[in-house]
Structure 1
Amino acid sequence: MEVRLDLPYAEAVARVREALAAEGFGVLTEIDVRATMSAKLGVEFEDYVILGACNPQLAHRALEVDRSVGLLLPCTVTVRADGPASVVELLDPQTMVQVTGLAGLGPIADEAGARLERVRRALARHAVGAAP
């Protein structure tokens, strides 16, 4: 799931955090890819962050199906600068079902996917080409 926002990077990251929170997701992890690439490799990279978003109720349900599903948690969301705009990508939670083959994760992935789709739609109000 992807949306290109007509927002500068820092504002896009803030909007993503707000939209995730509105759907019950907290950000457990944050990886500043630009800073990491600079510090570890000495290379320039655009502003880019990887957010590990978690909805505790959904995570608990998924872990109750199979403890090893923790390898696929939390939900991954990236935000990156693309010129004056930003690109947000949200990993489809159905990936959990596909990777594990556990049918019991299907309803949980469906709910997480619906919530993340609402996040994407909320952000789309700021999409490139969106009506003001």
Structure 2
Amino acid sequence: YEFDATVKKVEEAMLSEGFGVQLITGIHDMFKKKLGIDDYPKYTMVLGCKPQLAKRALETSLDMGLIFPCSFTIYEEDGKVKVAHVSIMKIGAEIGLADKEAMAPLIEDTGKQVRRVWDKI
């Protein structure tokens, strides 16, 4: 897919799996507007949240909110469009925002739901 179509595909996949999309922001556009950089490669973030998962994370530790929301990045590199995602639930547990053992079931559930998003991209 070309860049804009990929961004749309990520957004649609997230929405179809119950993730609310809070923001789609083009970092390259911000760099152009604020820094005067016209040729920065396209880089867009799709930020979303699945309320049920967020609630469970916050019930484990309110500090988990520091790394919300769930995000996918879409960027151009070496002439290709790439999509990336990292598990904020895993990161939160790994860096000590929440207890690893308490987060384990949520990490598993979140992983399953995000895999369904990946399957649609």
> What TM-score do you get using the length of structure 2 for normalisation?
0.86
Match of 1:58 among 53, 56, 71: 53
Residue 37 of structure 1 corresponds to 31
Residue 106 of structure 1 corresponds to 104
- Counterpart secondary structure, 1:24: coil
The one-letter code matched in structure 1 to 2:18 is: G
Which structure has more relative contact order (CA 8 Å, sep 6+)? It is: 1
Cα distance per residue 1:47-100 (max 9 Å; x no partner): 211122210110011111111110011112101134664211011231121122
Aligned partners of 1:14 and 1:63: how far apart in 2? 29
1:81-96 pair list within 5 angstroms: 81-82=76-77, 85-92=80-87, 93-96=89-92
Report the alpha carbon displacement of residue 22 of structure 1 after superposing the two structures with TM.
1.8
Please identify runs of 4+ aligned residues in structure 1 that moved more than 2 A.
81-85
1:64-75 pair list within 5 angstroms: 64-75=59-70
Report the alpha carbon displacement of residue 111 of structure 1 after superposing the two structures with TM.
1.1
Aligned partners of 1:110 and 1:23: how far apart in 2? 16
Q: Residue 12 and residue 83 in structure 1: after superposition, are their counterparts in 2 closer, same or farther (change >3 A)? A: farther
> What TM-score do you get using the length of structure 1 for normalisation?
0.79
**Aligned alpha-carbon RMSD (Å):** 1.7
**Percent identical residues:** 27
Gaps of 5+ in 1: 1-6, 124-132
Residue 118 of structure 2 corresponds to 120
| Residue 16 of structure 1 pairs with residue 10 of structure 2 | yes
Aligned residues: 117
Aligned partners of 2:51 and 2:31: how far apart in 1? 31
Gaps of 5+ in 2: none
The one-letter code matched in structure 1 to 2:90 is: Q
